[in-house]
Amino acid sequence: MASTGARTRAVAAEVVDAVVSGGKSLDAALAAREAQLAPADRSLVRMLAFGVLRHHWRLQESIDALVTRPFRARDRVINALLAVGLYQLTDTRIPDHAAVSQTVEAARVLRRPKLAGVINACLRRYRREHLAAAEPRSEAARWNHPDWLIAKLREDWPADAEAILAANNAQAPMWLRANAARGDAAACRDRLAAAGIAADLLDGVPDALRLAEPHAVTDLPGFADGALSVQDAAAQIAGRWLMAHAPRRVLDACAAPGGKSGHLLELGGAGFDLTALDHDAVRLERVRENHERIGLDATIVCGDASKPGEWWDKEPFDAILLDAPCSATGVIRRHPDIKLLRRADDIDELSALQGRILAALWPLLRPGGRLLYATCSVLAAENEGVAGRFLESESAAEEDAVLPNNNIRDVMRRKACGYQVLPGTAGMDGFYYACLVKKVSRSTR
């Protein structure tokens, strides 16, 4: 019977391989395999899988230098296992001897006993020759990003690209949102402090609390009863911004899993009428669960935001949140698999889709109403590219550049239109926002 340590490393390698070779998302790969493990071992698998994917290019460069020829296609999981082994030596406090012996044993768990010797030889040589100290040879290995994304970031953010690349490889803090319908963030901070959990507030994002250390949600007083939710502070800017003009009938057009729609409900008060739309029925279940936990209701609709004729009841909305499907290049620190799964070609396709959804939703907005266009991307093509093109093509649209709170001026970068939060700024994820207002024409005045 293999040791728990070896089984844990074998599962971590399978998870990494499912992303790198199988093209699966990290969340899906973890969900499929974590069930085989005791809860106590899951955090080690997560730590290893996240870490290896964060440092994929550097680790692969080391592997390429260590092995005389690449592993055969059917043994790719051993390549992933070797990455898991190297990562333990370079980036964790796991003692080297334990890292090596458990990783070698994991090759047997993965039914590749003949390759255990290769893993052993590579890990020992890596230590003996101090190869961890070698300078990365390629840009990809230096920044642990694919070449196309490094180039795009340098093009869009010439002065900030390296800070963005570094922030993408850092661990994200855990942010909470206080339910404004139940009390303010300061009261939540006191309740957390009484449970021994330290948290800070963020000027300009009034419902946000940043935990000093991550905690399981089950340990957070107020989570189960909906007084608190988990949500990055940058994502919380959406709710306050859209609600600044107290709209009553609101559409959240890409709502799943329901983070921002939950915030809108908490801020909406009595008589607030929210439609939460998404085209993914499975993800809409998460919206239902999230709303149920906070004890507030929206009309949940499964439909395609680019085809409102199929689901809209012809009643205009006072405000629309379009949190568009995007490359998610602003949240790489939480989803390092994005660096492996996204392709350069995706960006043009995504910006075309974003433009289509934006144009389709615009007629649903009443004159004088606001549409907040949001992405968790840092790429101009999906952000000011989409919003700017729309503003040029739609004469009834203009930008409302007034921020919901003056205190966030310093963390939001002004773009040709809209604003960008860069990942890592004040501990936040990367997010883009552009607020578009529909002009009131003489005939509708």
Decide: is 283 part of the binding site for ligand SAM (CB under 6 A): yes
Task: Provide the H-helix boundaries in 233-321.
Answer: 233-242, 259-268, 281-294
- Give how far the C-alpha of residue 207 lies from the chain's centroid of Cα atoms, to the nearest Å: 19
Q: Footprint of ligand SAM on residues 193-222 (CB under 6 A)?
A: none
Place of tokens 């907040």: 372
Q: How far is the CB of 260 from ligand SAM (least distance, A)?
A: 4
Angle at which helix 116-128 crosses helix 56-66, to 10 degrees, equals 100
Type and span of the H or E element at 41: helix 39-54
For ligand SAM, the closer of residues 197 and 372 by Cβ is: 372
Decide: is 330 part of the binding site for ligand SAM (CB under 6 A): no
- What are the angstrom distances between the C-alpha of 28 and each of 18, 33, 124, 335, 430? 9, 9, 33, 12, 23
Which residue in 63, 305, 320, 332 binds ligand SAM (CB under 6 A)?
305
Contact in structure between 53 and 16 (CB atoms under 8 Å)? yes
Angle at which helix 147-156 crosses helix 344-361, to 10 degrees, equals 50
- Contact segment (CB under 6 A) with ligand SAM among 113-121, 127-135, 206-214, 251-259 equals 251-259
Q: How far is the CB of 238 from ligand SAM (least distance, A)?
A: 7
Q: Is 376 designated active site? A: yes
| 419 Cβ neighbours under 8 A, 6+ residues apart | 401, 403, 412, 413, 432, 433, 434
122, 188, 326, 376: which is the annotated catalytic residue? 376
Decide: is 75 part of the binding site for ligand SAM (CB under 6 A): no
Count of CB atoms situated within 10 Å of the CB of 286:
16
Q: Footprint of ligand SAM on residues 262-281 (CB under 6 A)?
A: 277-280
Q: How far is the CB of 136 from ligand SAM (least distance, A)?
A: 32
Contact in structure between 29 and 18 (CB atoms under 8 Å)? yes
Which residue in 12, 84, 205, 254 binds ligand SAM (CB under 6 A)?
254
For ligand SAM, the closer of residues 20 and 374 by Cβ is: 374
For ligand SAM, the closer of residues 45 and 387 by Cβ is: 387
CA–CA distance, 4 with 7 (Å, rounded to integer): 5
- What are the angstrom distances between the C-alpha of 137 and each of 62, 91, 134, 399, 441? 10, 19, 9, 45, 60
Decide: is 304 part of the binding site for ligand SAM (CB under 6 A): yes
| 370 Cβ neighbours under 8 A, 6+ residues apart | 242, 245, 247, 319, 320, 400, 435, 436, 437, 438
Residue 29, CB-side half-sphere exposure with 13 Å CA sphere: 25
Place of tokens 């101090």: 130
Which residue in 256, 301, 403, 434 binds ligand SAM (CB under 6 A)?
256
Contact in structure between 445 and 373 (CB atoms under 8 Å)? no
- DSSP type of residue 174: P
- Contact segment (CB under 6 A) with ligand SAM among 9-17, 221-229, 253-261, 423-431 equals 253-261
Kind of pairing between the strands at 249-252 and 317-323: parallel
| 3 Cβ neighbours under 8 A, 6+ residues apart | 102, 105
- Contact segment (CB under 6 A) with ligand SAM among 122-130, 169-177, 219-227, 299-307 equals 299-307
Strands (E), 70-205: 175-178, 199-201
Which residue in 166, 306, 389, 399 binds ligand SAM (CB under 6 A)?
306
For ligand SAM, the closer of residues 256 and 371 by Cβ is: 256
Which residue in 258, 308, 427, 430 binds ligand SAM (CB under 6 A)?
258
Q: How far is the CB of 83 from ligand SAM (least distance, A)?
A: 29
- Contact segment (CB under 6 A) with ligand SAM among 34-42, 212-220, 300-308, 394-402 equals 300-308
Q: Footprint of ligand SAM on residues 344-363 (CB under 6 A)?
A: 357
- Contact segment (CB under 6 A) with ligand SAM among 2-10, 183-191, 241-249, 252-260 equals 252-260
Which residue in 48, 59, 140, 255 binds ligand SAM (CB under 6 A)?
255
Q: How far is the CB of 383 from ligand SAM (least distance, A)?
A: 13
Decide: is 233 part of the binding site for ligand SAM (CB under 6 A): no
- Contact segment (CB under 6 A) with ligand SAM among 3-11, 165-173, 201-209, 256-264 equals 256-264
Please count the residues of this chain forming the interface with ligand SAM, following the rule CB under 6 A: 19
Decide: is 323 part of the binding site for ligand SAM (CB under 6 A): yes
List residues near ligand SAM by CB under 6 A. 235, 254-260, 277-280, 283, 304-306, 323, 325, 357
Write out the catalytic residue numbers.
Answer: 376
